[in-house]
Structure 1
Amino acid sequence: MKQFIETIKIKNFKAFQEEQVFDIKGKNVLVYGTNGSGKSSLFWALYTFLQSSIKSDDEVKKYFETFDELNKQTHQSLKNVFMPDNADSYIDITFKDEHNISRSFQISHNNINTNNNTDTRVQELNLASDFINYKLLHNFYNTSHKQEINLWPVFERDIFPFLTVGTQNWLEDIIKSLTNDVPRTPRGNVASRGRKIRYEEELVVLNGKIEALLEEIERNANKFLKEEFFENKDVIKVDLKYTKKFNFNKVRQRLWREDMAYKRREELQIKLSIKLKEENSTDWKTIHRPHSFLNEALLTRVAIAIRIGATQTRLESLFKILVLDDMLISLDMSNRMDVMRLILNVDNKAELSFFDNFQKIILTHDKGFFNLIQRHTDDNDWVYYKFIKDESKNEAPKISNDLTHLQKAEKYFEDAELENCGNELRKAAEQVLTQYLDPNMKNLKSDFESLGTMLNKAINEINNNRFNKFKTNFLSSIELEKLKKIKEDYLIDGSLSEGEKTALTNTKTRIFDLLIELNSVSHKKETLLINTKEILDRIMNAASHAGENPLYTTELKDAIVKIKELKDFLNT
């Protein structure tokens, strides 16, 4: 059953203080905020909430303890340190399904209902969702030059927990099924030789499962790199090798104790190498330390491909979120938009359709990037937020809905700020036309175009589309001589068979049906564009709104209606 997040409530958690409500109504979310404004607090609130579904109550409660420097049991507390010790602290999320039935879940010090088996929605959402931030991608290649890249820590923290094996995730399966400890006697001694041999055979099977998973992720990553980043050309390949595996002696050390994280990095290894295609050759050159030879943009693409390759190994789910926190910070704007085109699947590619069911939450500190995404998305499907915080004060971030230009125009009109309303209407028209003329977000570097130029281009495109549709449907599929006969009384033409006459009648009907369709839809679009152009020309004329001209107020109201119609109609 399709479900989505309806409301997020966060109180006294990380940067948040008094209860902050995000009423997102099942939409995707785009957030802009400067560094330190609380964006990452939203990321970690969602992450902590979902991860609580696979933790015990005590493991969850530690995040909501009041911090006490002398008590190590409180050192993982995520309560806001500037709130009173007795202040309540929680994360509360409401889900709604396609039948409009809601259910709320909460984690706090006193109430945890995300990890029970009576309603497994949070567990299901956790297994299907993905969280990616800039640190995760940076960790793919954050290694000294003299070392090989070992991705085991990345897989352990950021990939295995989000891949499913039956009813649990890969990390749980690896730990609980086999590698928590070797078989032992009731006195704690290592079990008999026969049991040891059987256990080692089971470890071989486990290592084989991990290798098979890595091979599948590698295939997905290389396909993604080739098709989405390099225009289907052989340029670069990912090579993932499971070079240091579980064995009896390693497991015997009890690698999963909290103080053994560093030891696991030494004892377990998923080596990342890169293969580059040699020019004018079918050979590939292997780069064993890619972080020493490749630039950060290329390494980021590799990391994204591996991460998406892992996502593609999952079973499809209708209930999942994708949370991205400044994921593309190391890429320039053009490369960022290349990646966003893929995540938003603006080309409707079948191979990227697994992105479509994610409820997306995108967080960024880059205002330009925020504006571009907002310009190319629709407020019917998205909600936009702005986070602002004065870092010199110990206050919670100020969070507000970031209105679209059309929404701002309506608000200015209601407040009788007519000049501001006119300016926002022009920006709204530019946004609507940008979405229509550049639906795939590919013309980011094009020269500035005036609104008039954009309107004329849109009119021309409608006319071209009308002709191209007619040409595709008829001119290339019908013999010219037979097409000419449609003008004549072909029904009494003795040179035509009854079958040919029937075919011409069907063609004639199709032609008129298409002409009616094209002229009803395209004419409506063209009329709206022309009316919009005339209205905007008038309302942007300073002389038209000198003083309190009632005509100007009427035209502003009419312009709001027309741009709404234009926005809806251009998308049909």
Structure 2
Amino acid sequence: MRIQEIEIKNFRGFNKVHPINLHNVGKNAIIYGENGSGKSSLFLALKYFLSSARKQLSIGDKPNRNLFAAQTDDIYIKLTLNNGIPYEWTKTNIPQSPEILAGYKYSGFLEYRDILATHYLKPTETQVNLFELLVFTLLADIENPATSPRKTFQEHWKNLKEGLPIDNRYKTKIKELESNILNFNEGLNDILDQLQSELTSIFAEFKYDKVTLKFDPVQIFYDQSTKSIKGQKIILNIEFASQKLEGKHPDYLNEAKLSAIGISIYLAALKLNPVQEGDLAILVLDDVLIGLDMSNRLPIIDIIDEHFIDKYQIFLMTYDLEWFETLCEHFVEPNKAKWKAFEFYCADDTELELPIFAERTKGREEYIRRAEEYYAAHDYKAAALYTRSAYEAILKFFCDKYHAPVPYFSKPKNLKADKLWEVVKVHPKSNLDTKIISHVEKANQRILNPLSHSRPVPTYRREIKLAIAVIKQLHDRLQ
């Protein structure tokens, strides 16, 4: 099962309604988004939606509600799956159908901050300890094979804590607890062996042949002197060039190797829960490769191809335009029937925070369509924003097509539409007469300039309608 459409309203960075169409087949998606564009809000929308029932999350909590949404306006996230059914998360409805619960069980969400947890050395410890990360997060919903009836590790740990005696004279209770702890150790070590096998397979794609990874056995125990469970340690024993690092690998390995190990741990844990045929499973990676050069990023492509493409709907998100284009060349260009690419931008406006996005290569038409939709809904500020975005996309398309020389800026974002327009309007291939140039420049003064000030609504409405018409004309001329 796959997601056909995502619709988000007033959640985090998504002010107003934003539908993201992934086609009837539920295509995979590659998403470019500059900082503040809504990319990370999309990551959280998917993650929180699928976990809302199991974790009893409320969409109405203050961090979730868009800061600029009217208090009377509603907030929701809607996923339509390829069974044709829409599932909604609202203030009054938490999605908990079997399809969504399966999506929670099998899906994986990974961002750069998660990777840091795999090599974080606490000030009070001398070794990186993965016990909490694995038992309470990555393996929490994995069943312990040493339990009967089956319990997940999260459930089993809770059971151990509830079995702690309040008095060491309760010998029978202590024996039961110690027997239960033995089952916990046995099952966890069994699962760690499986995790290590998957980890080794995935990590091999990074080609760090001098690095080997092995989990030390777990041996938690009941300490009668403190009436508590001790030995809560999972140490990943790493060897580098035959040198044992003894859980102190952050002191010896560079960022590329640490990131590769972290990514491999997360993805290996995901594979311990094999996706059942027909169930929803998505894999969302949000800028997990920050700061790494291209040679250290490319293995993630092989990992997706080799381990995840057949069973998961993939969402790859990045703020790096070069990496975005590389992903598009590998995944989208040769297989458009199964992949889509989107570009997210931050609205250049002092009065309205609104993510501006469209499918890659279709930005011009998509922005015009969205401008017309917002205009028809009497949302004139949003219509103006999308009209400006269409204007800029049209100019960029023309300059790229005809290799028109444009002013250089060390930060490409600083190359604004007004500079592009000065190039385009005099270009011999533009085919623009004085009339349309005059119309564009009038619209520029009143609507297309992001610094234009608010005016009475009737005037503003007419100006936007005219600006949309002018931009459609410009689009036709500059094809």
Select which of 218, 223, 243 maps to 2:196: 218
1:374 has 2:328 as partner: yes
| Aligned equivalents of 1:420, 1:250: Cα separation in 2 | 73
CA offsets 1:37-73 (integer angstroms, 9 cap, x no match): 2211111111111112323xxx323x414x4xxxxxx
| Structure 2 equivalent of residue 12 of structure 1 | 10
User: What is the Cα deviation at residue 397 of structure 1?
Assistant: 3.6
SS in 2 for 1:21: strand
**Rounded Cα–Cα distance in structure 2 between residues aligned with 1:35 and 1:224:** 30
Check whether the contact 1:50–1:126 (CA below 8 A) recurs between aligned residues. yes
Contact map agreement 1:203 1:246 (CA 8 A) in 2: yes
The answer for the alignment partner of 1:274 in structure 2 is 238
- Please tell me whether the aligned partners of residues 347 and 355 of structure 2 are also in contact (alpha carbons under 8 angstroms): no
**Is the CA contact (8 Å cut-off) linking 2:160 and 2:180 kept in structure 1?**
no
Contact kept? 1:182, 1:252, Cα under 8 Å: no
2:361 corresponds to 1:361: no
Following the alignment from structure 2 to structure 1, what is the Cα–Cα distance between the partners of residues 138 and 258? 18
Q: Residues of 2 paired with 1:308 and 1:130: CA distance?
A: 8
How far apart are 1:316 and its partner, in Å? 3.3
Range 217-226 or range 329-338, more displaced: 217-226
RMSD across aligned positions (CA)? 3.8
Q: Residue 183 and residue 297 in structure 1: after superposition, are their counterparts in 2 closer, same or farther (change >3 A)? A: closer
1:204 aligns with 2:202: no
Q: Offset of 1:371 from its aligned partner?
A: 1.3
Aligned partner of 1:107 among 89, 95, 98: 89
Relative distance call for 1:252 and 1:44 in structure 2 (3 A) is farther
- Once residues 89 and 155 of structure 2 are traced to their aligned partners in structure 1, the CA distance between those partners, rounded to angstroms, is 25
Q: Report matched runs for 1:71-82 at 5 Å.
A: 77-82=63-68
Query: Displacement of 1:393 after TM fit?
Result: 4.8
Q: How far, CA to CA, are the matches of 1:170 and 1:394 in structure 2?
A: 49
Which residue of 1 is the match for residue 214 of structure 2? 239
Check if 1:131 corresponds to 2:87: no
The amino acid that maps onto 2:302 is R
Query: How far did 1:293 drift?
Result: 0.8
Which residue number in structure 2 is paired with residue 41 of structure 1?
41
Partner letter of residue 21 of structure 2?
A: D
Q: Counterparts of 1:158 and 1:169 in 2: how far apart (Å)?
A: 15
Between 148-157 and 22-31, the greater mean CA deviation after superposition: 148-157
* Pick aligned residue for 2:160 from 172, 179, 191: 179
Which residue does 1:446 correspond to in 2?
Answer: none
Q: Deviations over 1:86-109 (max 9, x none)?
A: 43222221111xxxx312222222
The answer to whether residue 80 in structure 2 is matched with residue 94 in structure 1 is yes
Partner Cα distance (2:263, 2:60) in 1: 33
Match of 2:275 among 285, 310, 316: 316
1:315 corresponds to which letter in structure 2?
A: P
Relative to 1, partners in 2 of residues 1:214 and 1:325: Cα closer, same or farther, differing over 3 Å?
Answer: same
Determine the structure 2 residue equivalent to 1:400: 357
Which one of 21, 24, 29 corresponds to residue 23 of structure 1? 21
Contact 1:7–1:24 (8 Å) recurs in 2: yes
Structure 1's 547 and 393: CA in aligned 2 closer, same or farther, altered over 3 A? Answer: closer
Q: Tell me, in whole angstroms, the C-alpha distance in 2 between the residues paired with 1:336 and 1:422.
A: 30
Instruction: Find 1:335's aligned residue among 296, 299, 310.
Output: 296
Specify every segment of 5 or more residues in structure 2 that has no aligned partner in the other structure, as ranges.
369-390, 404-426, 433-479
Secondary structure class of the residue paired with 2:181 = helix
Equivalent position of 1:151 in the other structure: 130
Deviation at 1:289, TM superposition (A): 0.5
**Cα pair 1:387 1:397 within 8 Å, conserved:** no
Distance 2:130 2:348 in 1: 35
- State the alpha-carbon separation in 2 of the partners of residues 154 and 16 from structure 1: 31
- 1:230 Cα deviation after fit: 2.3
Partner amino acid, structure 2, of 1:89: I
Question: Does the CA-based 8 Å contact 2:53-2:94 persist in structure 1?
Answer: no
Matched letter for residue 269 of structure 1? K
Match of 2:60 in 1: 64
Distance 1:546 1:120, change over 3 A: closer
Instruction: Kindly provide the amino acid, as one letter, of the partner of residue 235 in structure 2.
Output: K
**Which of 1 and 2 has greater Rg?**
1
Instruction: Give the direction of change, closer, same or farther, for the CA distance of 1:371–1:11 in structure 2 (3 Å limit).
Output: same
> CA–CA distance in 1 between the matches of 2:85 and 2:150?
23
Contact 1:130 1:322 in 2 (8 A): yes
Amino acid at match of 1:323: V
3-state SS of 1:64 partner: coil
- What is the CA distance between 1:360 and its match in structure 2? 0.4
Aligned-partner Cα distance in 1 for 2:102–2:80: 15
The answer for the alignment partner of 2:440 in structure 1 is none
Give CA deviations for 1:100-150 in whole Å, capped at 9, x if unaligned.
Answer: x31222222211232xxxx41111111111111111112211225873111
Deviation for aligned residue 1:267: 6.5
- Pairs within 5 Å for 1:418-437: 424=401
Report deviation, 1:420.
5.5
What SS does the corresponding residue of 1:18 show, helix, strand or coil?
strand
Matched letter for residue 88 of structure 1: D
Asked if 2 retains the 8 angstrom alpha-carbon contact of 1:409 and 1:421, the reply is: no
Structure 2 SS opposite 1:149:
coil
CA distance in 1, matches of 2:71, 2:395: 49
C-alpha separation in 1, matches of 2:167 and 2:65: 42
Amino acid corresponding to residue 29 of structure 2 in structure 1:
V
Corresponding residue of 2:256: 297
Residue in structure 2 matched with residue 522 of structure 1 by the alignment:
none
Q: Distance in 2 between matches of 1:210 and 1:219?
A: 14
Matching residue of 2:408:
none
Tell me the distance in 2 between the aligned counterparts of 1:400 and 1:112.
Answer: 27
Q: Is the 8 A contact 2:13 2:41 kept in 1?
A: yes
Q: In the alignment, which residue of structure 2 is the partner of 1:385?
A: 342
Q: Write 1 or 2 for the structure with the bigger share of helix.
A: 1
One-letter code aligned to 1:268 = Q
**Offset of 1:4 from its aligned partner?**
0.4
Offset at 1:291?
Answer: 0.3
1:203-258 deviation line (CA, Å, top 9, x unaligned): 210121111111221122123333x2228xx52111222556263769966x9xxx
Distance in 2, Cα, partners of 1:245 & 1:162:
20
Which amino acid counterpart does residue 85 of structure 1 have in structure 2?
Answer: Q
Partner of residue 32, structure 2: 32
Q: Which residue of 1 aligns with 2:421?
A: none
